[in-house]
Amino acid sequence: MPAKMPLLFSRFVKLEHSVFALPFAYAGAFLAQGGAPGFSRLFWITFAMVAARSLAMGLNRVIDREIDARNPRTAGRELPSGKMSLSNALAFCALSLAALALALSRLPRLTWYLAPIVIAVFAIYPYTKRFTTFCHFSLGAADGLAPVGAWVAVSGHLAWQPFLLMGAVTFWIGGFDIAYACLDIDFDRREGLYSLPALLGPGRALLLMRISHLLAVALLAAAGFALALGAVYFAGVGAVFLLLAIENALVRESNLSRVGTFMTMNGFIGITYFAFLAADLLVK
């Protein structure tokens, strides 16, 4: 493999964006354990998460390659620009799937049984923009599987509490994706693609983003009550609310130029939430 290929693959799936869902996977693991899981379990959860996200993003890029080629904003991506061949992209997806299978073989059996559902979500999400304006929340749900999967990876069984975190991540990421879709309103309308901004216009779509983020905070608080967490946890929920408020204040219908800053802030949101949650559990 040429030396530049690992960097190319990293750019292909934006590996650094794993930080969005990974803290919530750790949150699910810590909550299932009631504290810090063992190093081995946490290692394989991390391995599975990175493999799963790489698979999801790889499938997204492969399925959307023709649409991306027609969109000036995305035409420079690896597949439409010709920097990466389709065969290499498919090989990367296959390798990511194999890595996920390896990780799941080290985790409770239930994770293996649930894997086809997760992979189906990954494969269906890229198509949703072709038939539903709520495609943004399908992306959020794909990321929201992280805390549920990590809970199962630690406990070996399903429970209802981690689905509150899944809902929070769904509305958080879905709301962000609404803002991001405001950049493609003209293209989506021209191509007949579905999105809330294309349907409603940026003003009402951004209002829905703000409502989605309020729902995300409410679900994080609900998880705290459901799991009898303490004051430190709820301080973390307050910090997430503050960060989301700042994020929302940066984007206006009249000025969408700051949407790109969401990427950095979203990383801080996940890390901040997990840091407070872990502190709450570990100081008890």
Write a three-state SS string for 60-81.
Answer: HHHHCHHHHHHCCCCCCCHHHH
- What's the CA gap between 150 and 155, in Å, rounded? 9
Domain with residue 228: its CATH number is 1.10.357.140
* Domain membership of residue 115 as a residue range: 5-282
pLDDT tens for each residue of 127-179: 999 999 999 999 999 999 999 999 999 999 999 999 999 999 999 999 999 99
Residue of 16 and 46 predicted with greater confidence: 46
pLDDT recorded at residue 264: 74
Residue type for position 226? A
Q: Angle formed by the axes of helices 161-181 and 262-282, to 10°? A: 160
pLDDT recorded at residue 9: 60
Phi first, then psi: give them for residue 84, nearest 5 degrees: -130, 140
* Band (15; pLDDT cuts 50, 70, 90): low
pLDDT tens for each residue of 92-121: 899 999 999 999 999 999 999 999 999 999
Instruction: Please state the rounded mean pLDDT for residues 3-23.
Output: 66
How many domains are contained in the chain?
A: 1
CB atoms closer than 10 angstroms to residue 243:
17
* Band (10; pLDDT cuts 50, 70, 90): low
* Band (21; pLDDT cuts 50, 70, 90): confident
pLDDT recorded at residue 158: 95
CB atoms closer than 10 angstroms to residue 120:
10
CA nearest 181: which of 34, 71, 60? 71
Mean pLDDT of the chain: 91
